[in-house]
Amino acid sequence: MAAGTKMLSELGLTPLGGPDRAISGLSVDSRQVKPGHLFAALPGSNMHGAEFVPYALRMGAGAILTDRAGEGVARAALAGTDVAIVVTEDPRQALAFAAALWFGRQPETVIAVTGTNGKTSVATFTRQIWQELGLEASNIGTTGVEGSYTAPSPHTTPEPITLHRLLSDMASVGVTHAVMEASSHGLAQRRLDGVTLTAAAFTNFTQDHLDYHATFDEYFAAKAGLFTRVLPEDGAAVINLDDPKGRELAKYVTARGQELIGIGTSDDCEMEILGQRYDATGQDVRFSWQGWTQMTRLPLIGGFQAMNVLSAAALAIACGAEAEEVFATLPRLSTVRGRMQLAATRENGATVFVDYAHTPDAVKTALSALRPHVMGRLIAIVGAGGDRDATKRPLMGQAAHEHADLVIVSDDNPRSEDPAVIRAAVMLGAPDAMEVGDRAEAILRGVDALQPGDALLVMGKGHESGQVIGSDVYPFDDAEQASLAVAALDGKI
């Protein structure tokens, strides 16, 4: 937390029935409270943060922010103290605004990307385009903070205090352009409500996270909030119009008077994909921007990458870059780590790719996207994470069964669950799959099966560097294991 203090009123907060108060910082977790901090006692999915007010007071909290549900418990704990209390309808949003005002600085241009799949890819390509144009740029998301400013990021969308500290640090070292992923958790929890956005993008909407959001509609409403609540009226919205949910969002965007940039394969899109031709190292893409037809080469595997890249190009243009200069950078973009990444090639020419597909739709998309680049068979390794949406498991198995020639079901972060139970659920959708729990062995078996012209797609872990079993994290990297397996089987080690 930055040195110094600020008054609650400077952070947009009004204490109930008491005088204004100087605070020394912000905390969302009672265990991190420092003397004089405002402790945000938030309604949680397990418990109400107000339960921790007594703890926060022992740590020296100077003010409490909560909602009506937390007010009673908080007031009881505050009896006899002079600690201020702020009660609002939506304390998560109030905290987000307070964090923005506390840190007071962000890069001039910040954009956010939402959607079930493709957020990391679009964010990374946008940052790469900006850097190619000579701008100081970073992306924030699942793979950490990358580009001109780098840092680890524990969340896809960081908590508001962490987020605004980061944006302020970036701005102070000269980063002018930042692009962040807006996860549905992040949006539902108002984590980015305090960020001033120039533009936002929507990639697509399919099943995920039904462990957290009660229904599909609730999950979609969380994503829609990026356009209906966070992006200002003078912001630009880049929307995938090939997705019916994108069409729905486009109506909200138009109703709010935001600039709509449609992207897709229909002729009402400003950025229209006209054709794609695939080969072993990438693809040629024909597209038009506001009616101006272009051809470009993308050194990227997978048809959907054209959508991701052109969304990134549209975002860069929406934020002021020259279209011609943006398009000139596209052949120089590089694969996002762990997304359709070529990890190893066997002596016989067969290839191994690593991808982060961890939803039924992503499994289908990744396999069908790889297919036109491959002459031989497609072998898939698939598995599902423990302590996550269990309904997606058989659907992921089924997608692999339908789109690959050979399926191996293996473990992917079983966490607190029994891995055999997770594999059995995946195998409900892929009954003739080979079951190999140990992931290193599964990769070895997959690589061993590769004939000339074949490709192996290892899905689910992408850039991850560990296998989470119980509460332990064992070092594990799919790309590294693929290289080791190829080296071992080709007699190099």
Ligand X SMILES: Nc1ncnc2c1ncn2[C@@H]1O[C@H](COP(=O)(O)OP(=O)(O)OP(=O)(O)O)[C@@H](O)[C@H]1O
Ligand Y SMILES: CC(=O)N[C@H]1[C@@H](OP(=O)(O)OP(=O)(O)OC[C@H]2O[C@@H](n3ccc(=O)[nH]c3=O)[C@H](O)[C@@H]2O)O[C@H](CO)[C@@H](O)[C@@H]1O[C@H](C)C(=O)N[C@@H](C)C(=O)N[C@H](CCC(=O)O)C(=O)O
Ligand Z SMILES: N[C@H](CCC[C@H](N)C(=O)O)C(=O)O
* Stretch of 2-10, 315-323, 350-358, 396-404 contacting ligand X, by CB under 6 A: 350-358
User: What CA–CA distance (Å, rounded) separates 352 from 350?
Assistant: 7
Mask: binding to ligand Z, 6-45, rule CB under 6 A, as x and -?
----------------------------------------
Q: Which residue number, 243 or 464, has a Cβ lying nearer to Mg ion?
A: 464
How many residues make contact with Mg ion (CB under 5 A)? 5
Tokens of 45: 């999915």
* Stretch of 227-235, 258-266, 339-347, 459-467 contacting ligand Z, by CB under 6 A: 459-467
Choose the one of Mg ion, ligand X, ligand Y, none that binds residue 121, judging by a C-beta under 5 to 8 angstroms depending on kind: ligand X
User: What CA–CA distance (Å, rounded) separates 249 from 260?
Assistant: 10
Binders of ligand Y among residues 169 to 228 (CB under 6 A) are 183, 185-186, 189, 212
Long-range contacts of 249-256 (CB under 8 A, 24+ apart): 249/202, 249/224, 252/224, 252/227, 252/228, 253/227, 256/227, 256/228
327 binds ligand X (CB under 6 A): no
Binders of ligand Z among residues 353 to 382 (CB under 6 A) are 358
Query: What is the amino acid identity at position 119?
Result: K
Query: What is the amino acid identity at position 442?
Result: A
45 binds ligand Y (CB under 6 A): yes
DSSP secondary structure string for all residues of 174-206: T--EEEEE--HHHHHTTTTTTS--SEEEE----
From candidates 75, 155, 247, 286, binder to ligand Y by CB under 6 A: 155
Shortest separation between residue 183's beta carbon and ligand Z, angstroms: 9
412 binds ligand Z (CB under 6 A): yes
Q: Cα–Cα–Cα angle for 416, 419, 423, nearest 5°?
A: 140
Shortest separation between residue 358's beta carbon and ligand Z, angstroms: 4
Binders of ligand Z among residues 117 to 156 (CB under 6 A) are none
Q: What is the CA radius of gyration of the chain?
A: 24
From candidates 366, 425, 447, 484, binder to ligand X by CB under 6 A: 366
From candidates 106, 109, 121, 168, binder to ligand X by CB under 6 A: 121
Residue pair 253/227 in contact by the 8 Å Cβ criterion: yes
Q: Is 107 annotated as a binding residue?
A: no
Q: Which residue is nearest to ligand Z (CB)?
A: 385
DSSP secondary structure string for all residues of 62-113: SEEEE-HHHHHHHHHHHTTS--EEEE-S-HHHHHHHHHHHHH----SEEEEE
User: What CA–CA distance (Å, rounded) separates 27 from 165?
Assistant: 12
* Stretch of 218-226, 300-308, 416-424, 458-466 contacting ligand Z, by CB under 6 A: 458-466
357 binds ligand X (CB under 6 A): yes
| 372 DSSP assignment | G
Tokens of 55: 């703890």
Alpha carbon 347 to its chain centroid, in Å, reads: 35
Choose the one of ligand Z, Mg ion, ligand X, none that binds residue 357, judging by a C-beta under 5 to 8 angstroms depending on kind: ligand X
From candidates 42, 121, 460, 485, binder to ligand Z by CB under 6 A: 460
Mask: binding to Mg ion, 91-130, rule CB under 5 A, as x and -?
----------------------------xx----------
Q: Is 157 annotated as a binding residue?
A: yes
From candidates 126, 139, 156, 204, binder to ligand Y by CB under 6 A: 156
153 to each of 76, 413, 461, how far by Cα in Å? 36, 19, 17
Q: Which residue number, 212 or 278, has a Cβ lying nearer to ligand Y?
A: 212
User: What CA–CA distance (Å, rounded) separates 365 from 403?
Assistant: 9
Tokens of 303: 């048809």
Residue 252 burial (CB count, 10 A): 15
Q: Is 412 annotated as a binding residue?
A: yes
C-alpha closest to that of 103 among 167, 157, 148, 53: 167
Question: Does the CA dihedral 315-321-322-328 come out positive or negative?
Answer: negative
Tokens of 86: 């702020």
Residue pair 223/208 in contact by the 8 Å Cβ criterion: no
159 binds ligand Y (CB under 6 A): yes
Q: Which residue number, 147 or 160, has a Cβ lying nearer to ligand Y?
A: 160
28 binds ligand Y (CB under 6 A): yes
Q: Is 27 annotated as a binding residue?
A: no
How many residues make contact with ligand X (CB under 6 A)? 22
User: What CA–CA distance (Å, rounded) separates 66 from 425?
Assistant: 41
Q: Which residues sit at the interface with ligand Y, rule CB under 6 A?
A: 28-31, 42, 44-47, 49, 52, 155-157, 159, 183, 185-186, 189, 212
Q: Which residues sit at the interface with ligand X, rule CB under 6 A?
A: 115, 117-121, 142, 156, 181, 203-204, 304, 307-308, 339, 355-357, 362, 365-366, 462
Q: Which residues sit at the interface with Mg ion, rule CB under 5 A?
A: 119-120, 141-142, 181
List residues forming the annotated binding site. Answer: 30, 115-121, 156-157, 183, 189, 191, 388, 412-415, 460, 464
Q: Which residues sit at the interface with ligand Z, rule CB under 6 A?
A: 358, 385, 388, 412-413, 460-461, 464
